[in-house]
Amino acid sequence: MFNKILIANRGEIACRVATTARRLGIRTVAVYSEADTGARHVAFCDEAMAIGGAAAADSYLKADRIIAAAQAAGAQAIHPGYGFLSENAAFADACAAAGLVFIGPPASAIRAMGSKSAAKALMEKAGVPLVPGYHGENQDAVFLQQQADKIAYPVLLKASAGGGGKGMRIVERSEDFAAALASCQREAKNSFGDERVLVEKYLVRPRHIEIQVFADTHGHCASLFERDCSVQRRHQKVLEEAPAPGMTAERRKAMGDAAVAAARAVGYVGAGTVEFIAQQDGSFYFMEMNTRLQVEHPVTEMITGTDLVEWQLRVAAGERLPLLQQDLKIQGHAIEARVYAENPEKGFLPSTGRLQHLRMPVAAEFTREDVVRVDAGVREGDAITPYYDPMIAKLIVWGDDRAQALARMAQALARFEVVGLSTNVAFLGRLITSKPFSAAELDTGLIERHHDELFPMAMPSPLPVLALACAALILSESQASADPWSQTSGWRMNGSLTRRLSFMDATGERLLGLAYERTGVRLNTDRGTALLSDFSRTGHQLSVSVDGQALTASVVSSGDSFQIFHGGQHWSLDWSNPIAHAGEQEVGSGRLTAPMPGKIVALLVDAGAQVDKGTPLLIMEAMKMEHTINAPSQGTVTELLYAVGDQVTEGAQLLSFEHKEN
């Protein structure tokens, strides 16, 4: 076994790999960019080496620097994690040339599966079923459209070299094909430096079911069963579970055999995932093979009682698979939720910022220690930056059966508290408890189809939440002044005066009254009244007695804003402080600004262009997603302020626009 490895990644996966390495007595070397100097993975590893600038291209993708760091540190092997260099065959070759073990498959297997098109050709030969489509070399636009017409619409265009959902375009009609092809090619070129595409029949209501495979250098190859990753947004996984609901033993064997055949066809070694798209009748087709450890590998670990990173290390060191097919069994049910810094209400747009407050559920809060696991790459105080994936953590739970796993996931999500940026925690909670997901009515369109149920109208803050906000305000005022009852804000000892307060919550303005009484403070609201007493606060934990009932919750205050975690929900209340808001102005609206820091990838109009409302004007890329900026109204683009390739900061004005007066 190795005695020192370098981890060529960051975030949760770097911490995850380091955890196993430590357990096996292997020293770990972290690498980090300028943006990650104080990152959790750096603190977590035994040693750390700086490798360059914040942008991934200047650090985590710099193969030569990473290899030099491994050599300087005296590491014997490199674990690439996922993303970054994990599926880069040239990097695997360079490791070998430098005398380092690449903890992953042989470069030849990465190459064989690296192009979705070439992989499909190979799988066809190996007898693995494929989605109807065209995956050949001919990239002529007219020819590709003929192929699409032949398989009939809707069709899906994919970047051959693609990943991460990038470049994919659904085409509904032949008339739309040319435009979709151009935009798919542009995104493919921009993201992967390769504009080749393939065409596939777009399946209706499919499920994404993938098989975890593992092979060693002694000729063994096993399937560690399936994961169902059907719940997706933008073709990216949101929830992953194992086993797949409704899976029969025969189908599991058929899919496992197909996946093992796929792995064997390319001489696979190590951890890999064969992704299939399945129809509701159970028929399944090969989609692609991911030649690395997958984000969602923990659900497989939970149902098989394995540590797949340990398996990777053992296999890379030349050992046999710890368990062979006949020794592998499924136990219970596991589910993973990806907790992202993003705003589900705004089309899942990634968000950035500092994690001012972060509380994650821990095993100790549950009855058993092995039923909840949090894989996190960040701590309270860390920032989610625009440079990398906006994942905060993965939450993984296990249960005897699906119902128990779902119930535990709902509980764990209710204990997950984040202040400082938008997250999908509340959305995940609604998703897990939604009717279609509970009933396992799974397909990749679940989120879109149940949009109204998953995005309900905001609720007015209930009385306990208003009580907590008032208690937090009273406590902060009493800290600010030795004599809280004699402030400008209207307190009087005689008890006859009511202080009027206004808070804004998600539903609008909430008017409250507070009156001082002998035994406490009387809170009057449109939702009823309560007597508040016994206020106290330790850090973010606030306690108050409401009509004699003790209530404790996390309340994070900053200035006049209160973030309250109560009843498994996050409530945000802003106090309309009559003093603080004097003199503030509305920021001018209608400006065409960058929604987040990023890079301009395409200008779709020239200066002087007359456009209609909704006309796409430019495309920027940020956090591995493309964002199209559209005309807000009919008008004229008077000036383009940036060129293709320019970096822009959040809020930067991108172009000047003159609205046409009617």
Residues near Mg ion (CB under 5 A): 275
Q: Choose, by CB under 6 A, the member of 30, 156, 376, 521 that binds ligand ADP.
A: 156
Helical H segments across 171-272, by residue range: 177-192, 249-265
Q: Which is nearer to ligand ADP, 621 or 646 (CB)?
A: 621
Residues 6+ apart with CB under 8 A from 437: 231, 239, 406, 431, 446
Q: In whole angstroms, how close is the CB of 595 to ligand ADP at the nearest point?
A: 19
131 binds, among ligand ADP, Mg ion, none (CB under 5 to 8 A by kind): ligand ADP
Query: At closest approach, how far in Å is the CB of 288 from Mg ion?
Result: 5
Cα separation, 4 vs 395, in Å, equals 29
- Report the alpha-carbon distance of residue 624 to residue 84 in Å, rounded: 12
By C-alpha distance, which of 183, 227, 226, 230 is closest to 203?
230
Least distance in angstroms from the C-beta of 280 to ligand ADP: 12
Q: Does 16 bind ligand ADP (CB under 6 A)?
A: no
Q: Would you count residue 275 as binding ligand ADP (CB under 6 A)?
A: yes
Nearest to ligand ADP of 344, 390 (CB atom): 390
**Cα 620 from Cα 646, distance rounded (Å):** 10
Name the one range near ligand ADP by CB under 6 A: 23-31, 82-90, 546-554, 654-662. Answer: 82-90
Closest C-alpha among 645, 624, 589 to residue 349 = 624
Residue 54 to residues 35, 191, 600, Cα–Cα distance (Å): 5, 18, 18
Binding mask 373-412 for ligand ADP (x = CB under 6 A): ---------------xx-----------------------
Q: Which of 32, 84, 177, 657 binds ligand ADP (CB under 6 A)?
A: 84
- The question of whether 292 is a catalytic residue gets the answer yes
Please say whether the beta carbons of 629 and 618 come within 8 A. yes
CB atoms within 10 A of CB 494: 6
447: contact with ligand ADP by CB under 6 A: no
**CB burial string 147-186: b at 16+ within 10 A, e below:** bbeebebebbbbbbbbbbbbbbbebeeeeebeebbebbbb
Contacts (CB under 6 A) with ligand ADP, residues 29-68: 56
Q: Which strand (E) or helix (H) includes residue 658?
A: strand 655-659
| # binding residues, ligand ADP (CB under 6 A) | 29
Binding partner at 227 among ligand ADP, Mg ion, none, C-beta below 5 to 8 Å by kind? none
Q: Which of 444, 545, 557, 572 binds ligand ADP (CB under 6 A)?
A: 444
Q: In DSSP terms, which residues pair with 377 in a beta bridge?
A: none
Closer of 448 and 509 to ligand ADP (Cβ): 448
Q: How far is the CB of 478 from ligand ADP (least distance, A)?
A: 46
Residue 578 CA to residue 555 CA, distance in Å, equals: 22
Nearest approach, Cβ of residue 230 and Mg ion (Å): 12
Q: Which of 20, 145, 232, 572 is in the footprint of ligand ADP by CB under 6 A?
A: 232
Choose, from 233, 252, 292, 430, the residue flagged as catalytic: 292
Residue 208 touching ligand ADP (CB under 6 A) = yes
**Strand ranges across the sheet with 655-659:** 610-611, 635-640, 655-659
Residue with the shortest CB distance to ligand ADP: 83
Residues contacting 84, CB < 8 A, separation 6+: 8, 9, 56, 60, 61
Q: Is 445 in the site for ligand ADP (CB under 6 A)?
A: no
In the complex, which residues of this chain contact ligand ADP (CB under 6 A)? 56, 82-84, 131, 156, 158, 162-165, 200-203, 206, 208, 232, 235, 237, 275, 277, 287-288, 294-295, 388-389, 444
Q: Would you name the residues annotated as active-site residues? A: 292
